[in-house]
């Protein structure tokens, strides 16, 4: 007689509530302002790398140390090479950091409104955590991070709120936690005042994580990196080599190195987005929207009379995708990526039509 063992093996499946990324529509006519991608192309040198790629080299494994890209990043940020870790997007870097550094019985701390991948990794790796409530203006309450903990993670600028916390706030939290590893997730930092990177010279327990997906226009190439003390980077590499030695492919390494080399294009592209962001702020205000001061390549907007969910649905029907989070405290906000000037003007034209129709009802 055949025995049904379904219950037995099903009980051993690791179950987590997964992170839900922004929609990726296949229709190229869609104006895609929902995933904070950069609307401008990578540096010209990246195209040259792709054009001249020797495909025969793809039969060989890539350099597991990712030496070429690590070297370029160390020169760009003026740190030692053994202070740089590179992975497959900042999500990969952060996931490895959670796995490497958060191993105590104490809960790690992060804000209640922040990047929604943090609790997913905690569930996946069985890491205890406690969320700390942001204040009414979505700012961090420093004192909430003074208590005993197993680690701290702060996105700065924060997602989805777009708010940038001053470096003095970050240092205050790090200085109050000498026995914990503090990770600052700076995915959007190039659109804000300045990085907490300089603090890594003073605090061995501080890890800065950044990405090529936003300011460097390479979300599709999946490159992320961390900068910190030699001890932290060595620990990350030990876990990486025990998990997957060849994390970044040859094309990504070569293209990423070329992207870092072109500083002029990098800063010009950032300024373009900041200029469009400032223009967009004025246009949103004219239409009755309000929003926190942004340090990112997106705005977190709410309208004075029309619910965010209605606007989200109406825009989507007109092939304009923005991000809506049906979550407590933020369910009347839309996160809207800064696109090109033309894309933003199309958005504003549709919003005017929607808002006029709403008033007429």
The CA-based angle 278-283-287, given to 5 degrees, is 145
- What is the pLDDT at residue 161? 98
Q: Which position has the higher pLDDT, 357 or 294?
A: 294
- What is the pLDDT at residue 70? 98
Which of 205, 219, 212 lies closest to 186, judged by CA? 212
pLDDT at position 356 over 70: yes
* pLDDT (tens digit per residue) in 22-54: 788 877 789 999 999 999 999 999 999 999 999
Residue 138, phi-psi category: left (phi > 0), alpha (psi -120 to 50), beta (remainder): left
Q: How far is CA 43 from CA 63, 75, 317, in A?
A: 23, 18, 34
* pLDDT (tens digit per residue) in 219-232: 999 999 999 999 99
Does the fold of domain 44-261 match that of domain 28-41+264-360?
Answer: no
Which of 329, 297, 291 lies closest to 131, judged by CA? 329
In Å, how far from its chain's centre is CA 301?
Answer: 19
* pLDDT (tens digit per residue) in 249-296: 999 999 999 999 999 999 999 999 999 999 999 999 999 999 999 999
- What is the pLDDT at residue 359? 66
In the chain, where the domains are located: 28-41+264-360, 44-261
- What is the pLDDT at residue 4? 56
- What is the pLDDT at residue 1? 45
Q: Which two tokens stand for residue 104?
A: 């105590």
Residue 322 binned pLDDT confidence (cut-offs 50, 70, 90): very high
CB 333 within 8 A of CB 160: yes
- What is the pLDDT at residue 317? 93
Q: Tell me what the pLDDT averaged over the chain comes to.
A: 95
CATH match for 28-41+264-360 among 3.40.50.150, 3.30.420.40, 3.30.1370.100, 3.90.1150.10: 3.90.1150.10
Q: Which fold has domain 44-261?
A: 3.40.640
* pLDDT (tens digit per residue) in 176-218: 999 999 999 999 999 999 999 999 999 999 999 999 999 999 9
């Amino acid at each position: 007689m055949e025995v049904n063992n379904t219950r037995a093996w099903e009980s051993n499946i690791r179950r987590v509530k997964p992170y839900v990324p922004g929609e990726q529509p296949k229709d190229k006519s869609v104006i895609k302002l929902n995933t904070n991608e950069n609307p401008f192309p990578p540096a010209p040198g990246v195209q040259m790398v792709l054009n001249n790629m020797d495909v025969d080299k793809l039969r060989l494994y890539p350099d597991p140390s990712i030496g070429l890209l690590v070297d370029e990043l160390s020169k760009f940020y003026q740190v030692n090479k053994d202070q740089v870790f590179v992975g497959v997007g900042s999500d990969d870097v952060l996931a490895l950091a959670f796995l490497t550094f958060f191993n105590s019985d104490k809960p790690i701390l992060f804000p209640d409104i922040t990047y929604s991948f943090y609790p997913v990794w905690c569930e996946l790796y069985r890491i205890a955590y406690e969320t700390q409530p942001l204040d009414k203006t979505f700012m961090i309450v420093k004192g909430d991070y003074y208590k005993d903990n197993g680690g701290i993670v702060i996105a700065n600028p924060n997602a989805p709120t777009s708010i940038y916390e001053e470096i003095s706030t970050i240092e205050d939290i790090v200085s109050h936690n000498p026995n914990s590893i503090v990770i600052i997730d700076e995915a959007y930092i190039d659109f804000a005042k300045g990085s907490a990177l300089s603090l890594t010279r003073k605090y061995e327990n501080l890890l800065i994580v950044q990405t090529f997906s936003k300011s460097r226009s390479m979300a599709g190439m999946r490159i992320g990196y961390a900068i910190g003390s030699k001890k932290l980077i060595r620990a990350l590499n030990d876990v990486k080599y025990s998990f997957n030695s060849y994390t970044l492919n040859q094309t990504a390494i070569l293209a990423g190195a070329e992207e870092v080399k072109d500083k002029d294009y990098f800063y010009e592209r950032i300024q373009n987005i900041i200029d469009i962001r400032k223009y967009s702020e004025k246009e949103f205000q004219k239409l009755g929207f309000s929003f926190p001061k942004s340090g990112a390549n997106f705005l977190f907007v709410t309208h004075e009379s029309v619910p965010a969910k209605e606007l989200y649905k109406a825009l989507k029907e007109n092939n304009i995708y923005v991000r809506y989070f049906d979550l407590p405290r933020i369910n009347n906000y839309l996160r809207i990526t800064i696109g090109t000037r033309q894309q933003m003007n199309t958005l504003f034209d549709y919003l005017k039509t929607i808002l006029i129709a709403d008033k007429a009802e």
